[in-house]
Structure 1
Amino acid sequence: MFNGLADWWDGVELWLAQAPFPVQFVLVMAVVVPLCLVAAWVLDTVFGKVARRFGTARDANDSDRPS
């Protein structure tokens, strides 16, 4: 199974490397940019939850808070 997947990926990679630059650009913008946006959203969500769980809890009326 792994060999079949590797052969398929090699074919895709070869096709993409031989494609004209405008085709490569459009594919990167259509595939890589959304993947990066999703990855950034997931990381932001996960780290936000971790920070809320392990961060310091402060009351909204703390006196050391700047006004």
Structure 2
Amino acid sequence: MFDGVARWWDGFELWLAQQWFPIQFVLVIAVLLPLCAVAAWVVHRGVDGVADRLAALRRAGAPADDTERGEGRGRSDAVS
């Protein structure tokens, strides 16, 4: 089976290499643009997922009220 795929790919590669450059460019872009868009979407969703989990862990470990850290009393440099 792999031998058949390898022969098909060799034939396709030879056909593509013999095409005029603008046709090669259009065919490659027609394949690579969607693949790159999907890859970017997957990476984006993955980073968002990791960031959401890290934010949830941070919120779970943070004090519920800012007064516990001494930040609820106001700032000394505030203008009244």
Q: Do the two structures share a fold, i.e. TM-score over 0.5?
A: yes
Name the residue aligned to 2:14. Answer: 14
Unaligned ranges ≥5, structure 2: 72-80
**How far apart are 1:52 and its partner, in Å?**
1.5
* Structure 1 moving runs of 4+ over 2 Å: 54-58
Q: Distance in 2 between matches of 1:3 and 1:18?
A: 23
For these two proteins, the number of residue pairs brought into alignment is 60
Bigger relative CO (Cα 8 Å, ≥ 6 apart) = 1
TM-score, with structure 2 as normaliser: 0.63
Question: For the aligned residues, what is the CA RMSD?
Answer: 2.0
Name the SS for the 1:19 alignment partner.
coil
Unaligned ranges ≥5, structure 1: none
- Percent of aligned positions that are identical: 58
Alignment of 1:34-45 (within 5 A): 34-45=34-45
Q: Distance in 2 between matches of 1:54 and 1:2?
A: 43
**How far apart are 1:40 and its partner, in Å?**
0.5
